[in-house]
Amino acid sequence: MAALFVINAAGEQEPFSHQKAYRSARRVGASGNLARKIADIVGKEAYPGIKTSEIFQRIKDLLYKELPRAALRFNIKEGMRKLGPTGFPFEKYTAEVLRSFGYQVKINQLLPGHCLKSYEIDFVAQKDKTIYVGECKYRQLFGERVHSPYALANYARFLDIINGQYFKSAKYRDYKIKTLMVTNTKFTTSTLEYASCMGIELLGWNYPRGQGLEFLIDQEKLYPVTILPSLRGHLKDIVIQEKIMLVKDVLKIDVPRFAERFKLPQKQIDSIINEAKSLME
């Protein structure tokens, strides 16, 4: 039988993978039997040229009927995308992820370089004697990748900063100063090659392999608040404005006070809290 080709997020053809559909369902908590059932249904319904986004939506719909909590977890990538349209919420979210791993994090910092007087840095993260000078690369469109010119520019800036006076002070004599790039999407092969060669640490979708951003999110339940289906419109803007970036922080909301302060119906807030409870169980 001829292979069934689908269109991936980058607009390229690739063979339909029954195994990928199965693994996607298993990753978010579906049993082996349920994952096989879902993969079989999706495989039968798929047609030549179907977009992978349609396949993922179908998997999510089938999960929601059988296992609503798994369907919420399946929505991580879309939730990350909804942090936009600007990259600033992603910077705040990244800071919360790093803090969950014990880092002290400051965002939007100005650091002097050797050649240039000042660089705007997305974040500076410190844990023990290690400091990361970090850059976030947020992408809102499916299929976008972080290309090597961004890694080259990041490293050139990093070199100028560590050759400046700031990190040459006695205070940082025993510290390891590194650079870290974080993205909500994937890195191109050339970016990975250059970063490996120059010692740039990367954190993105499925990178490092088996320890990527989505793995850390799931392992530590660091779900972005935008993963919640009921969080939309004006309520989404308010929640992010209030620096509530993680689903677990939704559970700290004082509903009557929050509703009164922002003139919102309590039912609307109750919806996102119920979804958050389901996800954090």
pLDDT digits (tens, 9 = 90+) for 83-98: 877 778 899 999 999 9
Instruction: Tell me which of 39 and 28 has the higher pLDDT.
Output: 39
**Domain match, 259 and 247 both:** yes
**Domain match, 162 and 240 both:** no
pLDDT tens digit string along 30-58? Answer: 999 999 999 999 999 999 999 998 999 99
**Domain match, 11 and 44 both:** yes
pLDDT of residue 145: 93
Q: Indicate if the pLDDT at residue 124 is higher than 90.
A: yes
Domain that holds residue 29: 5-74
**Domain match, 66 and 89 both:** no
For residue 238 the two structure tokens come to 């308010």
**Domain match, 210 and 235 both:** no
CA 273 to each of CA 71, 251, 278: distance values in angstroms, whole numbers, following the listed order: 16, 6, 9
**Domain match, 162 and 237 both:** no
**Domain match, 19 and 63 both:** yes
**Domain match, 231 and 153 both:** no
Give φ, ψ of 111 to 5 degrees: -125, 140
pLDDT of residue 227: 92
Burial 53-84 (b: 16+ CB within 10 A, else e): eebbebbbebbbeebebbbbbbbbbbbbbbbb
**Domain match, 171 and 90 both:** yes
CA 205 to each of CA 9, 54, 116, 157, 202: distance values in angstroms, whole numbers, following the listed order: 13, 20, 32, 24, 10
**Domain match, 59 and 143 both:** no
Residue 2 — very low, low, confident or very high, per pLDDT cuts 50/70/90? low
If DSSP codes are grouped into helix, strand and coil, which group holds residue 203? strand
| Beta strands at 145-146 and 186-187: parallel, antiparallel or unpaired | parallel
